[in-house]
Amino acid sequence: MPELPEAETIRCQLEREIVGKTVRRLEVHDARAGREHRSPKELASLVEGRRIQGVGRRGKAPLLFLDGKRPTTLIFRLGMTGLLRVVPAEAPLEKPTAATLVLSGGKHLRFLDQRKFGGLIARPGHDVNSTPDFRDYGPEPLSDDFTPEYLKDIFSRRSAKLEMVLMDQHVIAGIGKICSDEICFRAGIRPARSARRLTKPMCERLWQAAREVLSEGIACRGSSARDETYLDVYGVPGSFQDRIYVYQRTGEPCRVCGTPIRRTRLPGGRGMHWCPECQK
Ligand SMILES: [Zn+2]
């Protein structure tokens, strides 16, 4: 599932490729991609003819800011397997393409989604924090709103396992299963600890680890781990998987101490990966 580093990589690349272009047409190839709207036609009417004024991101979602009389934001929900690809108009349509934005200047922005959990949502205005999609979201972990004090305060009110709290978009925006595993490892804290029981020094270590993991993830253009379909807008895999300490390394020796990495199941079948020696 794309997380903040993948969404931020997409944002940066789209900024280079499509800002200033006009959305000539939106073609919805799979109606599920427009399920938030009454019809694909309605969705198309909200974006067609608009100029792309800028590109943004909130949590795991890339955003297009469209200008016009009624400014609009187009949100890309990447779900489990959503990808964005910028291609020449004549490029053949790949099978999981769910929607195509036909842009001025002969390029297409294509939304591919193998497992069909993602979609496109158009909302009025450019202030995404006032939309129902992001109204209750937590702070961006690379912003100044995200501090060790914020973590300590919000954790003190949560009894769930640390890893579950880290992945809760209402607590921190943008963290999923890869980043949460790696953040807990680098902070030296067991992911199954109750968030409420974390001390102030632990919150400081988690804050630091979160900033490090996410910044490194972005520098590596995201992660194309074994079970991930993620590729950037040019179709190139990311490389953060080469720097991973615990995620999907069950039974393999810890890169720091050699102890086999463990996997503990979470409700819903997901697993947390951790080192019983390095994480306390
Ligand atoms: Zn270890």
Distance from residue 233's CA to the centre of ligand 1 (Å):
35
C-alpha span between 59 and 54 (Å, rounded): 17
The one catalytic residue among 107, 152, 263, 270: 270
Q: What pLDDT, on a 0 to 100 scale, did the predictor assign at position 158? A: 95
The one catalytic residue among 11, 50, 58, 60: 60
Q: What pLDDT, on a 0 to 100 scale, did the predictor assign at position 261? A: 98
Per-residue pLDDT of 139-193, as tens digits, reads: 999 999 999 999 999 999 999 999 999 999 999 999 999 999 999 999 999 999 9
Q: What pLDDT, on a 0 to 100 scale, did the predictor assign at position 227? A: 67
Go through the domains of the chain in sequence order and give each one's CATH number.
4-130 (3.20.190.10), 148-274 (1.10.8.50)
Per-residue pLDDT of 33-67, as tens digits, reads: 999 999 999 999 999 999 999 999 999 999 999 99
Distance from residue 246's CA to the centre of ligand 1 (Å):
9
Q: Please, which residues have CB within 8 angstroms of residue 149's CB and are 6 or more apart in sequence?
A: none
Residue 188 phi/psi, 5° resolution? 75, 30
Whether 21 is catalytic is no
The one catalytic residue among 3, 6, 163, 228: 3
End-to-end Cα, the chain, rounded Å: 27
Whether 85 is catalytic is no
